[in-house]
Structure 1
């Protein structure tokens, strides 16, 4: 193996795990099968399932893999920041543990970064097991009016309705399940805002990137399988709690409507009423699955 290849990866793939289960093994396997020079930084947020440790043991001779163990669940953004601090690649690729990357998709993302020098973040179309795109792949800033329209099921809300574009397009925001960006951009933005624990930190990063003069792009011709929060499905109340906290923080930071104290109070009450209203259905689904309602996180 060429020594320069070992010391200068092109891409640093950062995966945050938190009791992510067997999908993490397949995510790691597919990343390591890519031929692009890369390193994989696996950041474990205090998992109790033993999967990160098993992966490290099985790949102890693989210099491209590094595992960072956090003693507690720090949240998604803080864990990514710790992984990025140890990254050596010129490009960071933030990847959910239930997202399945392939070499062709990775090469296309790198090609787009080279083709668009002002690009700060490039996302992909993330799809479910049936190939159906997640609407969160192509988003707008979640201003109050847009968020209300999304809540009412309208197509002109936060997620851009209709078919996904078939080619690269400029976007306001993309899904944090997969984000490629130059490391220098991530460093200039000082990474994720660590006041978010889970959810909306990707919307925040995209907004700050645009405010700093960078472009956000969706690679419409790159489709990646995404399991949609494998470790979150059996801990929905905890995840929902942090999602609503994230929505409140984004609103307070960026939405002009937050300057009005009456509007701000109504939004606060509405958010938490919505959170409480969702709990019975979440618990019912848990009981039907026969799983304990515990708490964990992975990326959005």
Structure 2
């Protein structure tokens, strides 16, 4: 059997049609490399398991792991990585679409930068406008700038390396004054951000194993940032390139209640694990005031019910 260059790992959870579309795009538009696809089925109730069984009969490169329960993003991907035979791992969301042999081109980009332990390419929304991907590691200053809207300020915001990338429509006043059809025009402008999104994240398998994979205590959200943080401790960089590109459908819809609350919860966990303990009260204070402000601005003044529920839940967790 030929050596496998790349193990493509994805999680299936109640996304039957989206998962099928993703797999078909991978098979159709990935040429010139030996790859395997490992799908971890996280206990879906929508017929995904049967679809994947049928798909694997036609495509022998697909390896199906039936987890029988929802392991979350990190634990699910760890399960897939345990079965992987490739020298490189590609963690990819089920709501992505591949075109123009992007995976092969991405792998070649990654191999050309041996100083890097993690790589990602450009993500596009469904209409092929640019989608933000990654950012910088949390520090107390960056967290305060994020929660108090300091990194939203003109000119000042440009000087701050934000935890999250900024796009038109990100700044809080844009949510009042920009039209809904505003198009994203720019994203990461540097080739070495601190972390990149898990929607399309390529990692050298030996490095992934050395750091112990994704943190099993993080069910979903911030797990990719935390992984990149541990990989950076081994003195490997995170590399990003704007070519090739793939489509990530989910990123265009904005944050869910689960995303908002989980990010705050997991960011506090990140601080407990990696930062000095004296900073933790300040971190919780920043998230408390930040959540209160967002509850007032988005949940009450703007009348966004999702924001109202999310930040009320966040305040309850912080307290």
Q: TM-score, normalized by length of structure 2?
A: 0.76
Query: Are the equivalent residues in 1 in contact too, given 2:115–2:236 (CA < 8 A)?
Result: yes
Structure 1 residue aligned with 2:260: 240
Q: Which residue number in structure 1 is paired with residue 53 of structure 2?
A: 56
Tell whether the 8 Å contact from 1:170 to 1:217 is kept in structure 2 after alignment: yes
Moved more, 74-83 or 19-28: 19-28
Counterpart among 253, 261, 270 of residue 250 in structure 1: 270
Give the corresponding residue for 1:122: 119
How far apart in 1 are the matches of 2:282 and 2:113? 39
Give distance in 1, aligned partners of 2:65 and 2:290: 35
TM-score of the superposition, structure 1-length normalised?
0.81
2-structure distance, mates of 1:224, 1:88: 24
C-alpha deviations, 1:185-227, integer Å up to 9, x for none? 1111110011111100000011111111111100222221101
Q: Secondary structure, in 3 states, of the residue corresponding to 2:70?
A: coil
State the SS of the aligned residue for 1:59.
helix
- Cα deviation for residue 269 of structure 1 reads 3.6
Match among 256, 263, 279 for residue 260 of structure 1: 279
Residue by residue, what CA displacement relative to the aligned partner does 1:230-270 show, whole Å, maximum 9, x if unpaired?
Answer: 9x98x9333433222212112323344x5235414424644
Question: Given that residues 38 and 62 in structure 2 are in contact (C-alpha distance below 8 angstroms), is that contact kept between their aligned partners in structure 1?
Answer: yes
Contact 2:143 2:283 (8 Å CA) reproduced = no
* CA 64–193 in structure 1, closer or farther in 2 if over 3 Å, else same: same
The question of 1:16 aligning with 2:11 is answered: yes
For residues 11-160 of structure 1, what are the structure 2 equivalents within 5 Å? 11-33=6-28, 34-35=30-31, 36-102=33-99, 104-135=101-132, 137-151=133-147, 152=149, 153-154=152-153, 155=157, 156=160, 157-160=162-165
Give, in angstroms, the shift of residue 171 of structure 1.
1.8
Match of 1:178 among 200, 224, 237: 200
Partners of 2:279 and 2:56 lie apart in 1 by 54
The answer for the alignment partner of 1:212 in structure 2 is 234
Kept in 2, the 8 Å contact 1:138–1:218? The answer is no
CA contact (8 A) 1:39 1:65 kept: yes
Unpaired runs of 5+ in structure 1? Answer: 287-300
**Contact residue 124 and residue 224 of structure 1 kept, 8 A:** yes
Partner of 1:290: none
Instruction: Quickly say closer, same or farther: Cα 1:271–1:46, change in 2 above 3 A.
Output: farther
Give the structure 1 partner of residue 183 of structure 2.
none
Query: Structure 1 residues 102-111 or 65-74, which shifts more?
Result: 102-111
Q: Is the 8 A contact 2:125 2:251 kept in 1?
A: no
Q: Aligned pairs, how many? A: 276
Structure-2 separation of matches of 1:272 and 1:264: 12
Does structure 2 retain, via aligned residues, the 8 Å contact 1:240–1:275?
no
The 2-side partners of 1:75 and 1:242 are apart by 12
Q: Does the CA contact (< 8 Å) of 1:241 and 1:275 recur in 2?
A: no
CA contact (8 A) 1:144 1:251 kept: no
Aligned to 2:221: 199
